[in-house]
Amino acid sequence: MARQGIHRLSPMQVKNAKAGTLLCDGGGLWIRTKRGKHSKTQSGIFRFRMPGGKEQLMGLGSTDTFSLAELRERAAEARKLKASGINPLEAKRARIEQTRTASRVRGRLERVLGWAATKGLRPVENPARWKAHLENLLPAPSRLRNGVERHHESLPYQEIGAVMARLRALDYTPGRGALEFLILTATRSGVVRSAEWCEIDPAQRVWTIPAAKMKTRAEHRVPLSDAAVEVLRKAAELRFCEYVFPSPNSLPLDGNDMQQRVLKGDLGLTCATHGFRATFRTWADEQTSAPHHVMEQALAHKIASGVERAYRRGDLFDKRRKLMDQWARYCATSSALKTAGDKVVPMFARNSA
């Protein structure tokens, strides 16, 4: 339950806000709605005042890019900076100036080292080269916003039911199956595309992802809902190699298959495959009472605190299974309302009162 004084708005209130309004969510977060050229535009604003200073406004991002929950997280980060005596607006400007400075320094280093190589003063290989070198290690400047890497564009969770219905109405292909499986398991594109049949335990409804494939370099068990198992059943009918979602040449599915052929081609969507993890996380945050650590474990996020990692040995599997089953039921409808024949009460369902 939201604490008194903050989180006053609901996603529907934000969505229905009229142009020219400024809505207060509490804790310094305001949602500003403007009249755009073709439709209204909305963005989050953090209003604050440093001790002895004037009121200041800091943009937190557009609602087209960030959900209400994500804007709240950004406002919370700004409040923490302010509580520490740091002006969040100045900190934001400093981050931007650091990304610009880093880009200028790298460019100058590349030119200096290139000149030295031309003069025979050093090897031809340039460690500051961006193309086919640093671009493989660092996020591109175009993907950065306010000094940090941009988030992948995600789909509002309220629209997931309609998208899943359209996806399931299409004939099965490995790309379409992989996308549905990715959404239902809230996992990353790479582990879905490289999933192998030996990792799947259909009897226990568990997918065990090896540590080598995980970003955290730790084995991760994924509970499979009935809907996810159904995707695997369809995939098994076409099985011809060790991969669950293979390409025609028996290799892991290409990343563009889900993004370009299915998301963009079949469904006409501009969001990113990785963005569905944000869709799941926002849904869980706003529509369930699942504890924060259960949501984070479901996404296989690394626990930030070393002390907490030392004391938390389990993977909350049973609690995650109930959360993923609830997510699958939500994905099966466009409204997340229980059907008349549904007698199951999800573990993390909010009190409707």
Q: Mind listing the pLDDT tens digit for each residue in 158-176?
A: 999 999 999 999 999 999 9
Q: Locate tokens 């198992």: which residue?
A: 229
Judge whether residue 134 has pLDDT over 60: no
Judge whether residue 244 has pLDDT over 90: yes
Count of CB atoms situated within 10 Å of the CB of 286 = 17
Question: Which of 19-23, 129-133, 144-148, 152-156 bottoms out in mean pLDDT, i.e. has the lowest?
Answer: 144-148
Residue 85 DSSP one-character state: T
Among candidates 228, 227, 245, 223, which has minimal Cα distance to 236?
Answer: 245
For 315, residues 6+ apart whose C-beta sits below 8 A from its C-beta are 220, 221, 297
Whole-number Å distance between alpha carbons of 178 and 257: 9
Q: Is 25 left (phi over 0), alpha (psi -120 to 50) or beta?
A: alpha
pLDDT score for 315: 82
Judge whether residue 276 has pLDDT over 60: yes
Whole-number Å distance between alpha carbons of 315 and 22: 42
User: For the residues 260-279, what does the mean pLDDT come to?
Assistant: 90
pLDDT score for 307: 42
User: For the residues 328-343, what does the mean pLDDT come to?
Assistant: 59
Judge whether residue 331 has pLDDT over 50: yes
Q: What's the CA angle centered on 296, arms 244 and 351, to 5 degrees?
A: 105
Most confident of 51-60, 88-97, 127-136: 51-60
The CATH code of domain 157-331 reads 1.10.443.10
Contacts 24+ apart (CB under 8 A), 13-22: 14/42, 14/63, 14/68, 17/42
User: For the residues 70-85, what does the mean pLDDT come to?
Assistant: 90
User: For the residues 302-313, what does the mean pLDDT come to?
Assistant: 51
pLDDT score for 117: 73
Spatial contact of 88 and 74, defined as CB atoms under 8 Å apart: no
Whole-number Å distance between alpha carbons of 73 and 19: 24
Whole-number Å distance between alpha carbons of 118 and 171: 57
**139 vs 280 pLDDT, higher one:** 280
User: For the residues 150-156, what does the mean pLDDT come to?
Assistant: 69
% residues pLDDT > 70 (the chain): 79
Residue 168 DSSP one-character state: H
Whole-number Å distance between alpha carbons of 276 and 218: 22
E-strand stretches of the chain: 22-26, 29-35, 40-49, 55-62, 144-145, 148-149, 200-201, 206-209, 220-223
H helix intervals, 224-268: 226-237, 255-256
Give SS3 for 351: coil
Question: Which of 40-44, 57-61, 181-185, 313-317 bottoms out in mean pLDDT, i.e. has the lowest?
Answer: 313-317
Domain extent listing, the chain = 11-86, 102-149, 157-331
Judge whether residue 334 has pLDDT over 70: no
Give SS3 for 32: strand
Among candidates 220, 169, 167, which has minimal Cα distance to 192?
Answer: 220
Q: Mind listing the pLDDT tens digit for each residue in 3-58?
A: 457 889 998 899 899 999 999 999 999 999 998 766 788 999 999 999 988 999 99
Assign domain 11-86 to a CATH class: alpha beta
User: For the residues 245-268, what does the mean pLDDT come to?
Assistant: 90
Give the relative orientation of helices 317-331 and 226-237 as an angle to the nearest 10 degrees.
Answer: 80
Grade residue 138 by pLDDT with cuts at 50, 70 and 90: low
